[in-house]
Amino acid sequence: MINLSEISGLPIKFNEETYQISLGPQMRDPLYSTREIEPIRPLLLEPGCQAPEVLYWMYRNTGLKGDEHLLAKHRLRYDISIFVPAMLGPEYLKTSGHYHPPALAGGVAYPEVYEILYGEALYLLQKVDDYKAGPDEINVQDVITVRAYPGDKVIMPPDYGHVTINTLDVPLVMCNWVCDDFSSYYESVEQARGFAYYLVKEADEDKWIVNDKYANPIPPPREAQVQPVPEIGLETGVPMYTACRENPQLFAFLARPFDFEDVMWQGLKINA
């Protein structure tokens, strides 16, 4: 069992062999669910590939007992996800990818913030002109990739759809804070057979392959690095559960992104 309490700020242990986490008795019972391979198959480069039945587990809405106000009052939900280490054909294991809706009609979309607790992740972010449009009409305006390591807090900026990719041969454990007032949107990603790029391993090299389902040109991916943003609670060495618990106001950007657009972008340093 691996103790994740220092990195997460919560009494969590992780079993590397079974991929299960155990939450201390001080924690609230989450809503538990699994994500299976079948719904992901149509989004893969090789839909018929060999794959594990369960790709990842989600522990939704947990935290310490006594911290219920973070959701009830501040609308902030804390989830933990665990991804198995596996290849899906030539592709690294990934989530289907989704967009978030606008926080106010016509305005910027809800963001999200992830924190790596174990392993590594590569996030693929894409901004489009109309996230509900099909692959023949949709215009991909920007693509950003971010590699993240234990302790990193990674902003999924407003209006950027996101895919999580496990690029290691060990499990990935990550958590997120997100506003609980919306549902994610998946349909256009399904119609387009995934995001604009597939990450494949070819002769031990990582390579981005363009998804040719998208009829319009796709810009090249821009690499970004994670940067701390203490003004919004994203501080090196401080678990984001602890930061939010101590000062939930710092995480208001998740529920009111329209007031924090510029500061959120400080979390990603885009390579020139």
Positions touching Fe ion (CB under 5 A) are: 112
Cβ proximity to Fe ion: between 112 and 152 the closer is 112
- Minimum distance from residue 11 beta carbon to Fe ion (Å): 26
Given a contact cutoff of 8 angstroms between Cβ atoms, the answer to whether 198 and 122 are in contact is: no
Tokens of 159: 């209006």
Note whether 132 and 147 are within 8 A (CB).
no
With respect to Fe ion, which residue has the nearer C-beta, 178 or 229? 178
Q: What is the 3-state secondary structure (H, E, C) of 92-127?
A: EEECCCEECCECCCCCCECCEEEEEEECCEEEEEEE
Q: Which residues contact 40 (CB under 8 A, 6 or more apart)?
A: 55, 88, 94, 95, 96
Looking at the Cβ atoms of 2 and 71, the one nearer to Fe ion is 71
Shortest distance, position 22 Cβ to Fe ion, whole Å: 25
Cβ of residue 77: shortest distance to Fe ion, in angstroms? 11
Residue 90 or 101 with smaller CB distance to Fe ion: 101
Q: Which is nearer to Fe ion, 91 or 112 (CB)?
A: 112
Q: Where are the alpha helices (DSSP H) in 195-257?
A: 240-246
Instruction: State the amino acid at position 147 in one-letter form.
Output: R
**For Fe ion, which residue has the nearest CB?**
112
Sequence-separated (6 or more) residues with CB below 8 Å from residue 137: 130, 215, 216
In the complex, what is the shortest distance from the CB of residue 154 to Fe ion, in angstroms, rounded to a whole number?
Answer: 11
Cβ of residue 12: shortest distance to Fe ion, in angstroms? 21
Longest dimension (CA), the chain: 52
